Amino acid sequence: MFVSENLNVNEKGNLTIGGVDTVELAKEYGTPLYVMDEELIRKHCRSFKNSIDKFYGGKGLVCYASKSFCCLEMCRVMKDEGIGLDVVSIGELYTAVKAGADCENICFHGNNKTDEELEYAVDMKVGRIIVDNIFELERLDRISKEKGTVANIMFRIKPGIDAHTHDFVRTGQIDSKFGFALETGEAMEAVNKAISCKNIHLKGLHCHIGSQIFDIDPFVEAAKVMLKFIADIKKSTGFTVSELNLGGGFGIMYTENDDPVPYENYMEKVSAAVADTCSEYGIEQPFILIEPGRSMAGPAGITLYTCGGVKHIPGIRTYVSVDGGMTDNPRYALYQSKYDALVANKASQPKDSVVTIAGKCCESGDLIGEGMSIQEAAPGDIIAVCATGAYNYSMASNYNRVGKPAVVFVKDGGSKVVVKRETLDDIIRNDI
Ligand code: LLP
């Protein structure tokens, strides 16, 4: 009935998340409100971690892709669960540091890191800086030399795998702004250069083939391509690349049309392919890293809105207006992403109306979705949009000077604010 296992309906007919009444949450904290189920986040952490233990002898590390949802408390939960972090800016890295993350277990990404970012990463002794291009390698070598240290790096490689996903989030193609291509020889050139840099230690290779992927085969193919390159490096230089980071991208259920594979199956198949391929090439099995983001945070979250009005346009459509929109969830406007929604205070009633949920921005494209089946909505109702835990809060904006909603974690029947709602003073805090 629901897209996420943590959602249910209580005796009052209200939607619950992690056993907590969403209508009560809306009353207590106001709307719009992001609500995340901490237990489900922790469950995802454990299933990814256990799958590496079970199928790859524990020789790996799960790094949560914090771009999907990043705040101090989320980083603390990850630390508590023994999960590393993938960060992609100094802002995410700073959050991780302030949350007390172990920087050895951080992967620092980005296709155009600034000197400030590289210097901070070196100062914080980030375990793996994922170098995207040759200019960055040169800058990082200079920075670590100036600081009298050696930076541990991985190279971002384009394995050229088509993961059959939405064009906007496809990053493993040769026509991508991310990383080094194998075909052109630039990846091998970079490896040779890194080996000769005194202040660089090439730990491993990284690839990320896309996002919201349901098929395991492209991951297996990517792993094989990367291992062949590791074997080529060994053959041509004698150098052993000891780590392989296979990125994230595991799909989740947004609507009933989505059919994600259990995360376990991913590691099972990939581990088997890695073992076979390594023995075929006569190389050692590398330490493996994976970087799930959406699959960790997405299903754990929902967004609660208050319905302000309902406009029936005869023969055309019905707009249900909510007190948030593209400022807290830009994914329909950006990618036409589909969501499941319901009227939280009428959750046991049938979903017998088909509506467009519209936001409050001065922009016609400010929609949460079109053709959405929900219960008959009326002003004052609480509208819940499901599976918004990833790439919603982290992609929120202040367009129209709308403040960002609060984020609340629920756990053991209770709730707590982990990110405060932005106030009007927050809106003008940098204005002079
Ligand atoms: N690792 C790297 C290097 C990445 O670039 C990404 C996502 C991940 C891991 C995590 O991927 P995930 O497991 O979350 O699929 N804003 C888009 C998604 C962009 C993903 C960018 N990279 C969206 O809302 O769908």
What's the pLDDT score for residue 175?
82
User: Does the Cβ of 68 fall within 6 Å of ligand 1?
Assistant: yes
What's the pLDDT score for residue 171?
59
Q: Tell me whether residue 362 is one of the annotated catalytic residues.
A: yes
What's the pLDDT score for residue 21?
98
Which SS3 state, helix, strand or coil, does residue 119 take?
helix
Task: Give me the catalytic one of 63, 71, 307, 362.
Answer: 362
Residue labelled with tokens 């809105």? 305
Query: What is the gyration radius of the CA atoms in the chain, in angstroms?
Result: 23
> What does the DSSP assignment read for 35-102?
EEEHHHHHHHHHHHHHHHHHHHTT-EEEEEEGGGS--HHHHHHHHHTT-EEEE-SHHHHHHHHHTT--
In this prediction the pTM is 0.97
- Neighbouring C-beta atoms of residue 287, cutoff 10 Å: 15
Rounded Cα distance, 363 and 378, in Å: 23
Q: Bridge-partner residues for 65, per DSSP?
A: 86
Residues 3, 338 contacting (CB under 8 angstroms): no
Tell me the per-residue pLDDT of 373-432, one tens digit each, with 9 for 90 and over.
999 999 999 999 999 999 999 999 999 999 999 999 999 999 999 999 999 999 999 999
For 2, counting Cβ atoms within 10 Å of its Cβ (0-12 exposed, 13-18 middle, 19+ buried), the class is: buried
pLDDT, mean of each 10-residue run, the chain (432 residues): 95 98 98 98 98 97 98 98 98 98 98 98 98 98 98 96 64 81 95 98 96 92 96 98 97 96 92 98 98 98 98 97 98 98 98 98 97 98 98 98 98 98 98 98
Q: List b or e across 178-217, with b for residues whose CB sees 16 or more CB atoms inside 10 angstroms.
A: bbbbbeeebbbebbeebeebebbebbbbbbbbbbbbbebe
Q: Bridge-partner residues for 203, per DSSP?
A: none
Rounded Cα distance, 361 and 17, in Å: 28
What's the pLDDT score for residue 27?
98
Quote the ligand 1 centre to 131 CA distance (angstroms).
17
Quote the ligand 1 centre to 107 CA distance (angstroms).
14
Phi, psi of 210 (to 5 degrees): 145, -170
User: Does the Cβ of 109 fall within 6 Å of ligand 1?
Assistant: yes
What's the pLDDT score for residue 409?
98
Phi, psi of 62 (to 5 degrees): -95, 125
